[in-house]
Structure 1
Amino acid sequence: MNRTDRLLAIILQLQAKRWQRAEDLAATFEISKRTVYRDMQALAESGVPVVSVPGQGYSLVEGYFLPPLSFSPDEAILLLLGGDVMTQNFDAQYRAAAQSATRKIEAVLSEQLRAEVQDLKASMRFMRLNAKPATPELLQQIRRAILQRHRLSIDYETRYTDTDVTRTTREVDPYALIHIDQIWYLVAYCHLRKDMRHFRVDRIDALQVLNVTFERPAELNLLSNESDERELFVRVLFSHHIKRRVREEPSFYVISMEDHPDGLLVTLTVRHERDVLQWLLGWGANMRVLEPESLKSLIIDHAEAILQNHRIAESLLP
């Protein structure tokens, strides 16, 4: 944070809280107390009515306010909850920016509105369940490469099971980052596959920024699966009593869901049967694969292996 931004932030902090000690301001802005003293002198010299009282700290003369922004309670809670989400899901750089923005928004609220917003915030929470952490350094490097249009070289894991893992080194043109179900994905043009790909950031083992630039397509559908070599059609029939759950927890590969006399008919497109295997197994006996035959066989093999494992487990009991 440069000095001009810090001086404005100090004014907002004093506006938000009646008294602030030098050590409190130093801790908030990660500066020394000596720097706080110099900043206070600079504010006073620029005409900001700062009051200093030994034992209490610093305050603004009552009635002094920066020209306020006007927020309704709904607008304020939306912005502040958005800051909470950013704090939870981004790396340290953006987390600090979100916290700073939150302080500034709270500072320009009236005391009554601030109390109302705090009550609303206390009654709402965004929970991070089963969060998949991505290395903060990777996210920062990728963000920078996206902004500067620099090509990346990545070592990437394609993982179907703990033992079925393929590692490749690829050069990619990074277009965007997408956050889906607590997982960061890099949308990029893959020079190895000569097509668009979605890469899980937590499966990138190593990354190098190359001294090669690229042009981003003018029209880009970040969630499009059409050009992703997903040419294998899968049709699955789900039981009536779990139709709602399937609609609420779809696979990334779903392209359609239709009501059917016997339940819910779901169509997916995948590159390989294994892409959707774990999602289907999670529904147990409540689903039936209609096609392709290769996926039916794979499901049967896994079901028989599960049955065999449980028979062995029973034989081990005393």
Structure 2
Amino acid sequence: MNKMDRMLAIVLELQRNKVLRAEDLAATFETSVRTIYRDIQALSEAGVAIIGAPGQGYSLIEGYFLPPVSFTLDEAVTLLIGTDFIEQWFDAHYGNKARSSKAKIEAILPEAIRSEASQIRKSFRLFASAADIAPIQEKACLEAIRRAILEERKIRFRYSKRIAEADGNRQSIRTVAPYGLVLHQGSWVLVAWCELRQDIRHFRLSRMRELIDLEDKFILPADFQLEVYQPPDDRNVHVLILVHSDLADKVRESNNFYMETIEDHAEGLLVTFRVREPAELLQWVLGWGGGMVVLEPESFRHQVRNELEIMLKRY
């Protein structure tokens, strides 16, 4: 990074952070503290409103904003693709903001870069089928939940589990404190404290109905950070399946969340899955037809057989 690029980046860093020490900046830009001192002095002489507090660091005078910056071709393409992604996957509010941001970015680009960026974007696309793009129902929940997270308000909704509880019920009413949203394998998932379970639980937005904003407030735990949060892995049951060679490539590409290992076999593939309960794989296994055979556990083999017998009776 040359001196001018580094000096611009320093101002951007100071805009994002209230106070930064010379040591912090030196570590960020992989240079010496002495070089940072010289860059700060050059910026000050150029009229950038930087103030320094001994023992604390550097900051920008409140109200100072960096004038509009120019984008390289690659930066412009990256930003425009990002707006496409937001428009497809986020709620209406951010979808509209993505469209307006795209228009502003395109408007400030020099004609040569705008034309070349357009050509590059035409050469590839962020493809998603109608089934892949977040459904209208899911986007409606997304907008309401996003507001509740920002305002630290609880929500209540009717939730449908894919697998019934021990009492046979699949639906329940949940009151939760929403902690954050995660886009996982094409589906939006809410991470929240569930009052019914008295623990952190995950809820697919596509399975929520009758969502209600509550006036009850909650306080996000100081030790909870969504960006580093890792849910406990309670998938302790192994399922072994033999996949016929005709399906081998398709199964490899399916990227099933529960897939643990894949081994070549004379008849195709031996695939090991790790699940909480085998029923989580039932519909997936049935969907492949006769090209897939459950080897173990025996209880799951019986479950698949019983489901097939029910299907035969109906046909």
Structures share a fold, TM > 0.5?
Answer: yes
- Displacement of 1:238: 2.3
1:23-63 CA deviation, whole Å, 9 max, x = no partner?
xxxxxxxxxxxxxxxxxxxxxxxxxxxxxxxxxxxxxxxxx
Give the equivalent residue in structure 2 for 1:196: 200
d(CA) in 1 for partners of 2:110, 2:81: 18
Q: Does the 8 Å CA contact 2:193/2:201 hold for their aligned counterparts?
A: yes
Q: Which amino acid aligns with 1:76?
A: A
- Displacement of 1:267: 3.0
1:181-224 CA deviation, whole Å, 9 max, x = no partner?
44221122323223332211121112233413132443557784
1:225-249 CA deviation, whole Å, 9 max, x = no partner?
535x544332223234433322321
SS in 2 for 1:252: coil
TM-score by length of 2: 0.66
Q: Does the 8 Å CA contact 1:257/1:264 hold for their aligned counterparts?
A: no
d(CA) in 1 for partners of 2:228, 2:313: 43
Which is further off, 105-114 or 206-215?
206-215
- Displacement of 1:102: 0.8
Mind listing any 5+ residue stretches in structure 2 that lack a counterpart? 1-65
Give the equivalent residue in structure 2 for 1:272: 277
Q: Does the 8 Å CA contact 2:180/2:226 hold for their aligned counterparts?
A: no
Q: Which amino acid aligns with 2:280?
A: D
1:257-283 CA deviation, whole Å, 9 max, x = no partner?
232434433333333333211111222
Mind listing any 5+ residue stretches in structure 1 that lack a counterpart? 1-65, 313-318
Q: Which amino acid aligns with 1:172?
A: V
d(CA) in 2 for partners of 1:151, 1:230: 29
Q: How does 1:154-303 map to 2 (within 5 A)?
A: 154-160=157-163, 166-207=170-211, 208-216=213-221, 217-220=223-226, 224=230, 226-227=232-233, 229-254=234-259, 256-262=260-266, 263-303=268-308
d(CA) in 2 for partners of 1:299, 1:224: 32
Q: Which amino acid aligns with 2:269?
A: L
d(CA) in 2 for partners of 1:236, 1:222: 33
- Displacement of 1:135: 4.5
Q: Does the 8 Å CA contact 1:175/1:189 hold for their aligned counterparts?
A: yes
SS in 2 for 1:159: coil
Q: Which amino acid aligns with 2:162?
A: R
SS in 2 for 1:85: helix
Structure 1 residues 240 and 102: CA distance shift in structure 2, 3 A:
same
Give the equivalent residue in structure 1 for 2:122: 122
d(CA) in 2 for partners of 1:144, 1:220: 17
Give the equivalent residue in structure 1 for 2:98: 98
Q: Does the 8 Å CA contact 1:152/1:209 hold for their aligned counterparts?
A: yes
CA RMSD of aligned residues (A): 2.9
Q: Which amino acid aligns with 2:98?
A: A
Which is further off, 99-108 or 179-188?
179-188
Structure 1 residues 160 and 289: CA distance shift in structure 2, 3 A:
same
Q: Which amino acid aligns with 2:125?
A: R
SS in 2 for 1:214: coil
TM-score by length of 1: 0.66
Q: Which amino acid aligns with 2:178?
A: P
1:136-184 CA deviation, whole Å, 9 max, x = no partner?
44212211222233333222111359xx862101222322212234422
d(CA) in 2 for partners of 1:113, 1:122: 14
Structure 1 residues 268 and 146: CA distance shift in structure 2, 3 A:
farther
d(CA) in 2 for partners of 1:183, 1:173: 20
